[in-house]
Every structure is written in C-alpha cells, then in structure tokens.
Amino acid sequence: MPSRTALHEAEASAGAQFVDQAGWEVPRHFGNVEQEYQSAYKRAALFDLGHHGKVEVCGPEAAAFLHNLCTNEIKQLEIGKGCEAFFATLKARVVGHAFIYRARSDDGQDVFFLDTAPGQGENLARHLDHYLISEQVEIKDRTGEISQLYVAGPQAPALVQQVLGNDFSRLANLEVREAIDHADVKYQVRRHDFLGLPGYHLLCANERASEVWARLRHAGAIPAGSEAFETLRLEAGTPIFGRDFDDSHLVMEIGRTRDAISYSKGCYLGQEPVVRSRDLGHVNRSLLGVKIHSGQPGKPGAKLFRNDSEVGQITSSVFSPRLEAAIALAYVRRGSQQPGTELEVELESGRCKGEVSALPFLAGAPG
C-alpha cells in the first residue's frame, strides 16, 4: 500500500484525485489541471512535496564527508546556502542527486539537508552510510517525518510573507532560513526556483502541516497536483532522478554540469571520468530539449531519428500550453545536439517532425 503524506486527508477533502508516485499516494490534480497550471505562472500554486526524499547529515566531519562523495563544492559552502550535486560511482555513474543546504544546529554543529527525488531518500542515505567508516557523522533519512509544502509563482514571495510574517523575497535561489510564524509554527524556508518560477519550500512538523496548508490556501495559493507540476518542470527543463536519469547514466550526460559539478574542488568519488570527459570536450549523449511539431507528447523511451538513423530517446514529455506544442527531455547523441537540428520523433500515431531545443524551453527559467 502506498505511503501517504501528512496532508492526504486535507487534500482528499479538497477534491484531490490521487496517483502513486514512487510508492507515495500524491495528488494528481484537484479537478482542474489547466487552472492549477495557470495559477503557478500567473499567481501562486501550492504543491505537496512531502514524498520527496529528505536526508539529514550532521556532525563535526559532515562537510568533509559529503565533499568527498559528491560532485560539487561542499567544504566552502556558506551557512544558509545550498548547491546542486550528484553522487556517483568510481566510473561516474549516477547513484544519487540532491540539492544540498548547509545550516547550523542549536549546538553549533554543521547540518546538511539533502533534498532528493521521490523514493530516493532511503537509497541515498544507504549509499552515504556505506562509506561511513570512523567519521564523526550522523546520517538520517527524514522522509515522512517532515512535511514539505512548495509555493511557486510570481505572487509566491508576497504570499509566503503574508503567512509567515517574514519577508523572504531577497533570498537567492538555493538559500535557506529558519522562521517561526505568529502561530508558533517553526519552518525551514528554502528558496528554489525548481519550476522556473519564484518558489519556496516550507518544511514543518507533520502535525502542523494541514494548518499551514489551509492558511496558504486562505492567502490565495491554489492547490495543484503532479500533472501541473510535471508540465511546469519540463518547461523549465529540470530533470529528475528516476525519470530522466538513473544509475545507467553518467553525471556528465545530464546537462547539469554548470550547476552541479565543480572542477576545482579536488578529489571525490567519480572525479577521474568527469575530468576526462571535460578534457575530451564531449560526451556521447546529452540530455536536451526536443520540440515536437505536434500536440501529442512522446512516451518515455520513444526513439528519435535523424536521416533514418536512431539518435536519441525521450525520457519525459508533456504538452506545453504556453508553447502550444508538445515538448520533451531526451538524450541526444553527439553530432545531432545543435539547437534547431531537425529530427523525427517516434509517436503512437507514427513519426512526427521535431527539433532539438536548448534548455530551458521558456526564458527566465533556470538552465
């Protein structure tokens, strides 16, 4: 039986239709997907991300421990800031992916919060624990223990300020702060424009989650489900572990090198193949965008062709109302990666014309 977030009962009462996502029962929609989608880019939408993996790493040697296992700079990461990173094998195949936030506990110790994809918290915690020998580090999978509400849209900063009583509009992307509101609810607030829109993760105790959800709704946030989230995610060109990449992919293939890989940090697990790939100047395939000249999205695994030769494969695809076309994230082979390159896309109705697109699809989204 799928797990449920702390908001399940409140969401059911609001008319949510649920779907299984990585072993969690989460809202698919609340009856009007188009309204939910529009609320995100016009006003503010409210998503339940309680099913996203949450791993906490703390202790005097936590920074060095994570630094040696992931692709980005952790030792120099400032308190209150975050970064994106991969965890890899010696051959640079993906083991995990996370947005890592650094904070300071009440007793003055470093605490790192790893926000990862649905269903991946336990796997990432297990991977980290495998490399824990004698370091003064504690690893906890907190998935299910903490609620995670996500408010996204142009009105999100004002709405969060109204509910929490604090102005977080100046938080930069991937910055984190602690807050307590007038109802004595304690939050961790993370700025993350994951959908290419101003976005705030509000993490709080499970027992206060329904109260916070109701207050956000009262302030004007529109509850939204996974269908609207997926459309916005693809428009922003944001890949997610388990759908767009897994342990069969190299960290260099996923199109996140600029944000998630540091070439100056020193040694870490998987570094050698990453540096070798940089020195060669290419990888054999890369995750890119594809615009499909049809209203029909491609299915995951659908093939891409150029001059009748297979050159790629779709991982995720949706219809984008703002672009008035179907779009996809896809792995495209070297030699066919230039934006504007014409392709044929394998659809249920037959092959359809398409073209390679740089990411994000929409201007303003983080690339």
Q: How do residues 328-365 score in pLDDT, each as one tens digit?
A: 999 999 999 999 999 999 998 899 999 999 999 986 55
Q: How do residues 247-274 score in pLDDT, each as one tens digit?
A: 999 999 999 999 999 999 999 999 999 9
Please tell me the distance from the alpha carbon of residue 128 to that of residue 355, in angstroms, as a whole number.
Answer: 40
Q: How do residues 309-322 score in pLDDT, each as one tens digit?
A: 999 999 999 999 99
Of residues 300, 301, 309, 290, the one with CA closest to residue 353: 290
Per-residue pLDDT, 294: 87
**What size, in residues, is the chain?**
367
DSSP string of 198-225? -EEEEEEEHHHHHHHHHHHHHHTPEE--
Mean pLDDT along residues 11-39:
98
| Residue that has been written with the tokens 């960290």 in this structure | 251
Longest CA–CA span in the chain (Å) reads: 63
Please tell me the distance from the alpha carbon of residue 119 to that of residue 240, in angstroms, as a whole number.
Answer: 12
> Please, what is the average pLDDT of the chain?
96
Mean pLDDT along residues 23-35:
98
Q: How do residues 64-123 score in pLDDT, each as one tens digit?
A: 999 999 999 999 999 999 999 999 999 999 999 999 999 998 787 889 999 999 999 999
- 3-state helix vs strand vs coil in the chain, percent to 5: 20, 35, 40
Mean pLDDT along residues 18-43:
97
Least-confidence region, from 4-8, 126-130, 178-182: 178-182
| Residue 1's pLDDT band (cuts 50, 70, 90) | confident
Per-residue pLDDT, 281: 85
Q: How do residues 45-62 score in pLDDT, each as one tens digit?
A: 999 999 999 999 999 999
Per-residue pLDDT, 105: 83
Share of the chain above pLDDT 90, in %: 94
| Angle formed at CA 50 by CA 47 and CA 56, multiple of 5 degrees | 130
Query: Which residue segments constitute the domains of the chain, with CATH numbers given?
Result: 3-51+144-235 (3.30.1360.120), 284-367 (2.40.30.110)
Per-residue pLDDT, 364: 59
pLDDT above 80: residue 366: no
**At 329, which helix (H) or strand (E)?**
strand 325-333
Per-residue pLDDT, 202: 98
CA distances from 279 to 255, 273, 362 (A): 16, 10, 31
Share of the chain above pLDDT 70, in %: 99
Per-residue pLDDT, 164: 95
Mean pLDDT along residues 281-304:
95
DSSP 126: H
pLDDT above 60: residue 367: no
Q: How do residues 149-159 score in pLDDT, each as one tens digit?
A: 999 999 999 99
**What is the crossing angle of helices 226-235 and 33-42, to 10°?**
50
Q: How do residues 204-214 score in pLDDT, each as one tens digit?
A: 999 999 999 99
| Angle formed at CA 147 by CA 188 and CA 102, multiple of 5 degrees | 35
